Amino acid sequence: MGLIQDDAGRILIARRRPDQPLGGLREFPGGKLEPGETADVALRRELHEELGLRVQQAVPCLAIEHAYPDVTVRLRVFRVEAWSGTPVGREGQPLDWHDPADLHSDEFPPASRAILNAARLPRRYLVTPSPATHGDILAIVEQVDAALRRGDIGLVQVRAPRLGCEGYREFLCRIRAVAERSGTDVLANAPPEWLAGLPPVGIHLPERRWRVLDGRPAVAGWIAASVHDAEGLRRAAALGVDFVVVSPVAATSSHPEAVVLGWDGLHALIAEAPVPVYALGGMDRAALPQARAAGAQGVAAIRGLLE
C-alpha cells in the first residue's frame, strides 16, 4: 500500500467499490502481490495500474498483520516520496486528496489504523528537559514555548523524572498551556496516578511501565512507548500503542556506553514495524531527512529540537 502525500500535506485516498469486500470504505491505494513479486515491485505495478502513477522513490514504513473474521491480511506499507503522473482511478474507484486531520478511522478498514496514525503524526517529537528542582520549571517552560513557536514541532512529551508528583503536575499543566497556543499535542511520561483529575493528555510509556500492561491504557490522546529492539517493538505494538520511539539510533553524550542501532539497523527494524517509529538518540533537526529515508515517522529529541 502507498501513503502518498502532496506538497500541501494532503493524503491521496481511494474508496472501495460497492462490489468489493468492505465496499464503500475508504482505503490507501495499493493491491496484492503477484507470485514471485517483492513488495516494492508490487507497489510500483499496482500504483501504475490503478492510478497511472510511476513511483520514483518509496520507503517501507509499516508491516501490518490484521485478522478479520474470515481472513488474515498482511500489509506492506510504503511512504511514496516521489512519483510522476496525475492520479486517476483507472478501475473506477473514486479518488480524493484529504487533510490527514479530516480522516476518521471508522471510514477505513480496521487494518488501516496504523497507516492513519502515520498520516496524522508529525515529523518532530520534542521531549522536555527535566527540571532538577521546582525552581527550574519556569525556565524550561519558556524554552519549550520558544521551540513550539517556531511551528515545526507537533508533539511534546513532558518528562521530569527528578520531580515529585506535585511538581510534575505543575510542570505538565504549564507545558500543556503553552502547547495549546500552538495546537501541539502533549503526552505525559509519569505514573498514571499522578495524572488523576487533570485535563486529558496522551501517554508516553517507558519500557518499565508498558511491560507490566496487558492491554492499551484507556486514555483519550496518543499512546506511545519507548523500545530498544525488535522484540520490544513487537510487544509494545501488541498492546495497541499508536507509535514507538526507538533508541539509541546514534551515539549520545548522556549514554555514551549504549550500543547504537545506526541508520541501517533502524531501517531493518522499521521494515517489520507494525506501528510508526520515531528515531531517538543523537537526533536533531538536521537528522530528519536521514531518519525519513530509513522509514521513520520522524525524530525525537531534547536538545536537538530545543536549540
* pLDDT per position as a tens digit, 224-242: 999 999 999 999 999 999 9
Where does a domain end: 83, 111, 139?
Answer: 111
In the chain, pLDDT over 90 holds for what percent of residues? Answer: 89
Residue 254 has pLDDT above 80, yes or no: no
Looking at the structure, do residues 137 and 284 belong to the same domain, yes or no?
Answer: yes
Looking at the structure, do residues 103 and 193 belong to the same domain, yes or no?
Answer: no
In a domain, 118, yes or no: no
Looking at the structure, do residues 107 and 128 belong to the same domain, yes or no?
Answer: no
pTM above 0.85, yes or no: yes
Cell for 138?
519556569
Rounded mean pLDDT of 16-43? 89
Rounded mean pLDDT of 271-296? 96
Rounded mean pLDDT of 281-302? 96
In a domain, 251, yes or no: yes
Pairing of strands 26-27, 298-301: unpaired
Rounded mean pLDDT of 73-102? 93
In a domain, 119, yes or no: no
Give the angle subtended at the CA of 76 by the CAs of 246 and 25, to the nearest 5°. 110
Structural domain total, the chain: 2
In a domain, 43, yes or no: yes
Looking at the structure, do residues 270 and 157 belong to the same domain, yes or no?
Answer: yes
* Comparison of pLDDT for 254 and 249, the residue scoring more: 249
For residue 159, which of 189, 120, 186 has the smallest C-alpha distance? 189
User: What is the reported pLDDT for 36?
Assistant: 92
Q: Which domain holds residue 27?
A: 2-111
Looking at the structure, do residues 204 and 160 belong to the same domain, yes or no?
Answer: yes
Looking at the structure, do residues 15 and 157 belong to the same domain, yes or no?
Answer: no
Looking at the structure, do residues 103 and 237 belong to the same domain, yes or no?
Answer: no
Looking at the structure, do residues 267 and 147 belong to the same domain, yes or no?
Answer: yes
Measured between alpha carbons, how far is 103 from 109 in angstroms, rounded to an integer? 12
Measured between alpha carbons, how far is 285 from 153 in angstroms, rounded to an integer? 10
Rounded mean pLDDT of 268-276? 96
Q: Is the previous residue joined to 109 through a cis bond, with omega within 30 degrees of 0?
A: no
User: What is the reported pLDDT for 220?
Assistant: 86
Average of per-residue pLDDT values in the chain:
94
* Comparison of pLDDT for 151 and 22, the residue scoring more: 151
Measured between alpha carbons, how far is 119 from 111 in angstroms, rounded to an integer? 14
Looking at the structure, do residues 105 and 19 belong to the same domain, yes or no?
Answer: yes
Where does a domain end: 45, 76, 111?
Answer: 111
Residue 184 has pLDDT above 80, yes or no: yes
Looking at the structure, do residues 66 and 129 belong to the same domain, yes or no?
Answer: no
User: What is the reported pLDDT for 252?
Assistant: 79
Candidate from 216-230, 243-257, 285-299 with smallest mean pLDDT: 243-257
Domain with residue 78: its CATH number is 3.90.79.10
Cell for 53?
502513477
Looking at the structure, do residues 106 and 157 belong to the same domain, yes or no?
Answer: no
In a domain, 249, yes or no: yes
Measured between alpha carbons, how far is 67 from 86 in angstroms, rounded to an integer? 34
Looking at the structure, do residues 156 and 55 belong to the same domain, yes or no?
Answer: no
